[in-house]
Amino acid sequence: MKDKKNKFVISKEGKKKLEVELHTLINIVRPKVIDALQKARLQGDLSENADYDAARNWQAEVEAKIKEIDSFLSNAKVVSSSKKQNKIVKLGSKVEFYEYDLENNLIKEKKSVKIVGLLESDPFKNLISNDSLFAKRVLNHSVNDIVEIKTTKKKYKIKILDIT
């Protein structure tokens, strides 16, 4: 998600991961690509050289990813959540909550997610984008708040148990 100054928001941890990925691409992967290109060139005719074509495609992918990460980092605004700010949900907060089944008036289960920037999100690892409907609804709420979340298919409530 971009903020008012056209900057992407990212957590401190997310920025560090992207910096490590960029370093790896530039200093480890790129030299491997160059080596693969050089070896493919030694095979002769480049017009019908599948290894050369594969190496060129790999090079294009790596260079595009380097450019994408570099651009993102250049336009990233790091938002950190200090321990003092754990009273309300912010970018970088880990939110523990109960989800309520409104139809049966039951607590379904205890869950936990972390609110992160868009490029950091990975729902399979419970890293939820601050641009998601869930995050937009819980941002700026506190422990013990009950938040209603409506999607096109479902309506449910959550009770925030803890914010770290």
72 and 91 share a domain? no
Q: What is the dihedral of CA 133, 136, 139, 141, to 10 degrees?
A: -70
Question: Do 47 and 119 sit in the same domain of this protein?
Answer: no
Q: What is the pLDDT of residues 19-31, one digit of tens each?
A: 999 999 999 999 9
Per-position DSSP letters for 113-146, written without gaps between them: EEEE-GGG-BGGGTEEETTSHHHHHHTT-BTT-E
Q: Which domain CATH number covers 52? A: 1.10.287.180
Supply the pLDDT for residue 58.
97
The domain tally of the chain equals 2
Residues 66 and 89 reside in one and the same domain: no
Q: State how far the alpha carbon of 51 is from the alpha carbons of 63, 106, 141, in Å.
A: 18, 59, 55
Which residue range is the domain that position 28 belongs to? 8-78
Residue 2 maps to a domain: no
Residue 3 lies in a domain: no
Split at pLDDT 50, 70, 90, the class of 65 is very high
